[in-house]
């Protein structure tokens, strides 16, 4: 569907991680929720003092609600964290090209940090076909694992410092999985992690999709602020694609890392 402007009613807005900055907001917004696809995002109006909306990935959705998980990183997301339950939120969305969910076969959901959340909706559609490989910096930041297991996905967790789960990077888990058998891989996380994960997928010939992030302006593809470099098909050149509407999900093999 084309993006729409819609008001939503905030059903909940809670801190997910004690002492952290990670929040989950559930919004009643039937028209937008019904049209939302896995991997898409919404642009949130964060009110007075902001000139740009804040792009927030859709974590989960049903016919009438959207769930957004977001980190408080600055003025806009801080304003979001303070929005009262029962209040109104102004949304532009759903926006972008999301994940393509394969109709059959094993799917690995590779997430790092807050990047795990856009993979929740795919998990809901995949059930037992999905295996989540989730990486965090340390034990205190581990969160959201149950979002995947609740939908029937197996979840493996690793931490950079070994304080929880497997000691190491999520790319090591990914390599072990791909050695064991082919899979489609959906990736979302920090750029270095996505680049490394995409390289592992290329090594094993696994189809991979990555969800990119970039500082964004209009969110509808007009201003050309949020571009990324993409290989030109059937050529050796590069071009700029818009993360907002040409992505945010791209085939990992077309991204110029």
Partner 1 sequence: MAKVDMSVNIAGVTLRNPVVTVSGACGFGEEYKPFYTTADIGAIAVKGTTLLPRLGNAVPRIAETPAGILNSIGLQNPGVDVFVTRELPRLREEGACVIANIAGSTLEDYQAVAERVADAGVDLIEMNISCPNVKEGGVAFGVIPAMVEKITAAVKEKCGKVPLIVKLSPNVADIAENARAAQAGGADALSLINTLIGMRIDIKSRKPILANKIGGLSGPAVFPVAVRMVWQAKKATGLPIIGMGGVATAEDAIEIMMAGADAVGVGTAMFKNPMAPIEIRDGIERWCEEHGIADVKEITGSVID
User: Residues in the site for partner 1, rule: CB under 8 A?
Assistant: 2-5, 45, 49-53, 75-76, 92, 214-228, 238-240, 245
The smaller minimum CB distance to partner 1, of residues 228 and 255, is found at 228
| CA gap 203, 178 in Å, rounded | 9
For the CB of residue 162, give the shortest distance to partner 1 in the complex, in Å: 27
Burial, 150: exposed, middle or buried (Cβ in 10 Å; 0-12, 13-18, 19+)?
exposed
Beta bridge partners of residue 112, listed in sequence order: 135
Distance, CA of 158 to CA of 140 (rounded, Å): 12
We find the least distance from the C-beta atom of residue 96 to partner 1, in angstroms, to be 13
> Considering only CA atoms, which of 108, 70, 113 is closest in space to residue 89?
70
HSE-CB at 190 with a 13 A cutoff on CA atoms is 11
Report the residue number, 182 or 238, with the smaller CB distance to partner 1: 238
**CB of 71 vs partner 1, minimal distance in Å:** 15
Q: Least distance to partner 1 from the beta carbon of 210, Å?
A: 16
Q: How far apart are CA 33 and CA 190, in angstroms?
A: 26
C-beta closer to partner 1: residue 75 or 167: 75
**Is the CB of 80 or the CB of 116 nearer to partner 1?**
80
């Amino acid at each position: 569907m084309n993006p729409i402007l819609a008001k939503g009613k905030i059903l909940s807005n809670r801190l997910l991680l004690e002492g952290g900055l990670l929040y989950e907001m559930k919004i009643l917004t039937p028209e937008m929720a019904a049209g939302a696809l896995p991997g898409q995002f919404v642009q949130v109006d964060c009110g007075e003092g902001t000139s740009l909306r804040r792009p927030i990935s859709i974590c989960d959705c049903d016919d009438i609600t959207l769930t957004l998980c977001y980190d408080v990183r600055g003025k806009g997301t801080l304003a979001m964290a303070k929005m009262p339950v029962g209040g109104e939120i102004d949304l532009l969305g759903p926006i972008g090209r999301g994940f393509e969910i394969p109709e059959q076969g094993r799917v690995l959901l590779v997430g790092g940090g807050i990047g795990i959340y856009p993979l929740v909706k795919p998990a809901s559609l995949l059930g037992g076909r999905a295996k989540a490989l989730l990486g965090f910096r340390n034990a205190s930041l581990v969160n959201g694992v149950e979002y995947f297991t609740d939908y029937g996905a197996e979840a493996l967790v690793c931490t950079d410092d070994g304080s929880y789960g497997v000691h190491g990077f999520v790319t090591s888990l990914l390599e072990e999985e791909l050695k064991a058998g082919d899979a489609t891989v959906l990736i979302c996380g920090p750029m270095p992690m996505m680049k490394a994960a995409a390289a592992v997928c290329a090594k094993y010939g696994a189809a991979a999709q990555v969800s990119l992030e970039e500082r964004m302006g209009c969110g509808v593809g007009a201003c050309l602020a949020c571009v990324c470099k993409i290989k030109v098909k059937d050529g050796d050149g590069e071009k700029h694609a818009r993360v907002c509407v040409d992505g945010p999900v791209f085939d990992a093999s077309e991204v110029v890392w």
